[in-house]
Amino acid sequence: MIQELAEPAQGCRARFVAFYSDIDHLVVPGRNARLDHPDLNVQNIAAHGVGHLSMPSNGRIAFTIAQALRELHPDGTPGTP
């Protein structure tokens, strides 16, 4: 199943925002929280000094998610970051 994640994803129009941290004790190593795929529109954001369980209540992360949602087109397709 993990191998499927590396398969081509041409035509995927979704926009992904992934946060990763240098002190995440649940996703180890932290870089495993990144989404790196050549066919996907991904914005990987380092959340330095923010633990895994603190991410949902982090203001910068919440603002970035809200901004990504605001950029959606009326039909739900992703806008540009």
DSSP H/E element including 44 = strand 41-46
pLDDT at 76 over 80: no
Is 78 a residue whose pLDDT tops 80?
A: no
Contact 55, 21 (CB under 8 A): yes
Q: What is the pLDDT of residue 1?
A: 59
Assess whether pLDDT exceeds 90 at residue 15: no
The mean pLDDT value for 25-41 works out to 93
More confident residue, 54 or 15: 54
d(CA 15, CA 39): 11
> Could you tell me the pTM of the whole model?
0.82
Q: How far is the C-alpha of 59 from the C-alpha of 73, rounded, in Å?
A: 24
